[in-house]
Chain A
């Protein structure tokens, strides 16, 4: 089963890399995001006294320190670029999940899925290959994103190789959860539009109601409640914790929650996808 899953995932990656345009644009898009989104908003500039302002020097310093403290308590860092580029590592997992579904739809429509289903390949491998391919794509994109972010001034404070590895695991968990959801949905969906519509409906709220782009603590109460249940928040918090040392309120609770969401989606997806394939 593992062999067939990996083989089919390899097929997808090969096609992904082979489509130069798609591959390059999926690399450039993230970089534009962090460059524009991350760099266009300079947190500290907001609190720098305007030029020519007549303020006693001691007061400026005290004010700056108070503000910085507040920023750090919200963002875990004083640099918004650092905050958002680590969040973006997680956002990618969300957005790539959709492509697991798109790939199922195309295999269905072009008859490749039928060819697979007429072969002795385990049905579970067909499903898992979509998840594995997505995880691999996210890994590649995130590695590049991280490299560029570091070059552009991402401040990782004392993160060692283990931290990167553990952070990667959390990204993988989130990517797998979303890929599982989208792949399963796509087995049952009749048209690719349904998957695109669903992803429009799901991805943006998932991203904005999480700590990926903005800190949860400054959100209105109701949104904080949503964010607390949003697995993206937990993944983002955990990744930030490892990469930039931002505090997490309850580390193991976050880990357990994220892992549970992934396990449930993967498991339910496996059951439903195989059921779709075998009961037509």
Chain B
């Protein structure tokens, strides 16, 4: 038996397990309940929440992109640690409020929440569209990751399209049948698997290639003095860009509509505890960066097409003793990609059903809405799959690209909870303006002001617009009532 056969068997066993856990999670729960599908009847405990939040963040981006960044950009990759830690902090304050009012008024999405506060269907639809536009590139990224892993680990014997088709197909099926509970329980399994594997790999490569962490960093430092620093001559990222990336992540992180929806899967108290234990998850990311650093000076940059391939390259070239180990690594990387894509696919399906379909035609009965959501799992999945296989772009650019527009939702969310005077029209103008400015600086402008993150510039315009138009336009009567309710929760 060749090595890749053993690897394939190990990966297949993992896929079967993930599939069974995903399907079994929904067993005994109502298949026809919208609340069960969307928010797990608001009953998740701390254990599941931690893995659900962690697994969602710990994506193919972290597993393939993380080492890639460490390898090619050095200290700039610390950004990944920092955003994972800081990102969830605002949730400690807004999460419980969002959960409380959501339970009272029966919300399941961010569109529900904002649309009701500002008494505007239009806003709900805009939020739904922004969400889905951000979900698709994110999902594309995960699918690309899955395809890579299959392709590289089987030495090209499994074609690019087929590996992604099998692994993402499994995700689509268990999300469509078991809803958020399927995503959550498979995340528990996937997160444990990938954390264990990340640590084993990190320690193994550091030891084998450099004989210890200290040696590794000293070698790197000797060859390039600025590689482990931010904003120096030989560093990969300027100080302004590094800082503004972190700020925008902290603002944008909990604005991801699927994370927002997760506020509705649990109770207020558990949200706070989840935030408390979350930084530990960030520490688990450390070895992932070590993997990338260990390749520095060992693998020359012309040996790989792009930096995202550093982990697969190290595995195929330096982890040659055991086919089994090799397969387990593949499973871990797949787990990282799958545990993010299930939550996002689920989020996209719920947004599509509730924020777009239901908002446009409010007479849709609940059971039809549920079937629209299940159908959307396949629809959104198919679109992302096609882009992943036939489209092309650098791994991380895609994800960071989606981050900017998402952060533009922040003024709406914070205003809804803390500022009573803010009106619907100002929020809508601010949101649209912010998204346009962000997209302009991201894709069309030669450079941004002071090298700041495009999303941050958009946000400045967004907030200014919200402020000016709130002073100019008055609220409707029903909006005043809602504003008071949201403010006092």
- Answer yes or no: do A and B interact: no
